[in-house]
């Protein structure tokens, strides 16, 4: 276990390092001077030089990257000669357009994505896995055909599409729900939940469809395995065979998928946020792309990547826990 954790941490760090270098290069080596944008309107040459110095863009690229890494580990100061802006320890950069440290911008929006992801996860797990198992058990019947049809339809409905339609239906025409607006959980849990119902549903639907498909095929595969036949040949009831033996094998692959999906969504459920006008990480990214606020773009991208890499490691651990044949090494 220790060996695994150590190996995994080292490789995670390496991946993040490579990734940060790629992201950094991509965004800072491209034409377009971030300093001009940061400087704002009515910027003259002298002021531009100051801003450049403050941003560090007057240095060679590799030095900029080095400073960025230093900032991540030890924090960093942006020195504009007259005023010094300090950015504390895990410094993901500093947005001069909004005059905030990037990390603060990210953490203030994170609750939105956590709320969205966790709620949706519950729905897609229940709906997706339930549908998958049911259609595997009802193989060849009308139920299966119906569920397969629904699953295909679900897979073919992009998040923003279902979000829009749900909003039209539930809020505009039927008036069942208010137009969603993010309310922090701490302020009012009931309002938090009722406002999140539609976003959860839209985010969950397409994922649920994917899970249903995967669960179905993995369930069918498990049901065809010899040890299931053994269970039947030894007089176990069909129910026992399914719940005791087939489900476990069928659901193990779902764990991996789940960890990775959750990791991906925590880094920004961009489309859902956009449809419902929630200010999450995804919107932050889109906005900063549109304003070419590069430190934020780099920060959010890296942050999302961090979640994914973490999720992969978690998935490996969970998988090893679930499947006795897999040893962590």
Partner 1 sequence: MTERLLVDVRDLRVSFPVGIGTAGTGTVTAVDGLSFGLRAGESLALVGESGSGKSTAAFALLGMHRGTGAEVSGTVRVAGTDLATATDAELRRLRGNRIAMVFQDPLSALDPYWSVGAQIAEVHRVHTGASRRASRARAVEVLDRVGIPDAARRAGAHPHEFSGGMRQRALIAMALACEPEVLVADEPTTALDVTVQAQILDLLHDLRQQTGMALLLVTHDLGVVAGATDRVMVMQDGRAVEHGSVQSVLRAPERPYTRALIEAVPRLEARRSAPPVSEEVLLRVEDLHRHFPAPRAAASAAASLSGPGQAPGSGEPSGEAEETGAPAGRPAAPSGGLGRLLGRRPRHRAVDGVTLEVRRGETLGIVGESGSGKTTLGRMMVRLTEPTSGRILLDGRDIAAAGERELRPVRRDLQMVFQDPVSSLNPRRSIGDSIAEPLLAGGTGGAAARSEVQGLLERVGLPAAWYDRYPHEFSGGQRQRVGIARALAVRPRLIVCDEPVSALDVSTQAQVVQLLGELQQEFGLALVFIAHDLAVVRQVSDRVAVMRRGRVVEQGDADTVYDSPQHPYTRRLLAAVPVLDPDEAAVRRRARAALRALDRSEGGEEAQAVA
Partner 2 sequence: MSETATVSRPAAEATEPRRRGQVWRRLRRNRAALAALGVIALLVLFALAAPLLAGLEGQDPTTFHNDLVDSATGGVPFGSFGGAGAHHWLGVEPGNGRDVFARLAYGARVSLAVAVGATVVQIALGTLIGLAAGLGNRLADTVLSRAMDLVIAFPELVFAIALMAIVPDGFPRPVLLALVIGVLGWGSPARVVRAQVLSLRGLDYVSAARLGGSGRWRIARREILPGLAGPVITFALLRLPVNVASEAGLSFLGVGVRPPTPSWGQMLSTATTWYEVDPAYVLLPAGLLFVTVLAFTVFGDGLRTALDPRAASRLRVGTRRRAKD
DSSP state letters, 36-82: HHHH-SS--HHHHHHHHHHHTTTS-HHHHHHHHHHHHHH-EEEE-SS
The residue count of the chain comes to 329
230 binds partner 1 (CB under 8 A): yes
Which tokens go with 165? 């339609």
304 binds partner 2 (CB under 8 A): yes
Which tokens go with 196? 């999140």
Taking CB under 8 A as the criterion, the residue among 147, 219, 241, 309 binding partner 2 is 309
State the number of binding residues for partner 2 (CB under 8 A): 54
Closer residue to partner 2 in complex, CB, 183/260: 260
Specify the long-range contacts of residues 251-256, CB closer than 8 Å, at least 24 apart: 251/129, 251/215, 251/218, 252/319, 252/322, 252/323, 253/214, 253/218, 254/129, 254/211, 254/214, 254/215, 254/218, 255/315, 255/318, 255/319, 255/322, 256/315, 256/318, 256/319
State the number of binding residues for partner 1 (CB under 8 A): 39
CB of 86 to partner 2, least distance (A): 27
Which tokens go with 241? 């065979």
Closer residue to partner 2 in complex, CB, 50/313: 313
115 binds partner 2 (CB under 8 A): no
264 binds partner 2 (CB under 8 A): yes
Taking CB under 8 A as the criterion, the residue among 178, 244, 279, 321 binding partner 1 is 244
Asked if residues 296 and 288 have their Cβ atoms less than 8 Å apart, the reply is yes
232 binds partner 2 (CB under 8 A): yes
Binding mask 175-194 for partner 1 (x = CB under 8 A): --------------------
222 binds partner 2 (CB under 8 A): no
Q: Determine which helix (DSSP H) or strand (DSSP E) holds 227, and give its type and residue range.
A: helix 226-233
Binding site for partner 2 (CB under 8 A): 15, 18-19, 23, 26-27, 30-32, 139, 152-153, 155-161, 164-165, 167-168, 172, 217, 220-221, 223-224, 226, 229, 232, 260, 264, 267-268, 270-271, 274-275, 282, 285-286, 289-290, 292, 297, 300-301, 304-305, 308-309, 312
């Amino acid at each position: 276990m220790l060996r695994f954790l150590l190996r995994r941490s080292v490789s995670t760090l390496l991946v993040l390092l490579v990734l940060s270098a790629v992201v950094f290069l991509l965004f800072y080596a491209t034409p377009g001077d971030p300093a001009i944008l940061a400087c704002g309107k009515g910027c003259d040459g002298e002021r531009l030089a100051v801003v450049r110095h403050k941003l560090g863009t007057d240095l060679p690229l590799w030095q900029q990257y080095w400073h960025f890494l230093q900032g991540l580990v030890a924090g960093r100061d942006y020195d504009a000669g007259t005023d010094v802006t300090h950015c504390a320890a895990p410094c993901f950069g500093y947005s001069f357009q909004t005059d905030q440290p990037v990390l603060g911008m990210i953490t203030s929006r994170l609750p939105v994505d956590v709320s969205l992801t966790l709620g949706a996860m519950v729905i897609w797990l229940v709906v997706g896995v339930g549908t998958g198992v049911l259609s595997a058990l009802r193989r060849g019947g009308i139920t299966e055909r119906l569920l397969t049809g629904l699953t295909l339809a679900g897979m073919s409905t992009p998040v923003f599409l279902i979000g829009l339609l749900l909003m039209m239906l539930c809020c505009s025409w039927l008036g069942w729900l208010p137009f969603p607006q993010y309310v922090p959980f701490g302020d009012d849990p009931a309002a938090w939940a009722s406002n999140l119902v539609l976003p959860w549903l839209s985010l969950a639907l397409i994922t649920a469809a994917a899970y249903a498909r995967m669960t179905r095929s993995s369930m069918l595969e498990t049901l065809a395995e010899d040890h299931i036949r053994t269970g039947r040949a030894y007089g176990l009831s069909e129910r026992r065979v399914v719940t005791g033996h087939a489900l476990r094998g069928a659901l193990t692959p779902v764990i991996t998928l789940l960890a990775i999906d959750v990791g991906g969504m925590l880094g920004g459920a961009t489309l859902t946020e956009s449809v419902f006008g929630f200010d999450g990480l995804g919107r932050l990214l889109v906005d900063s792309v549109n304003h070419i606020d590069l430190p934020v773009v780099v920060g959010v991208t890296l942050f999302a990547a961090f979640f994914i890499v973490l999720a992969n490691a978690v998935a490996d651990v969970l998988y090893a826990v679930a499947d006795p044949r897999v040893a962590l090494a």
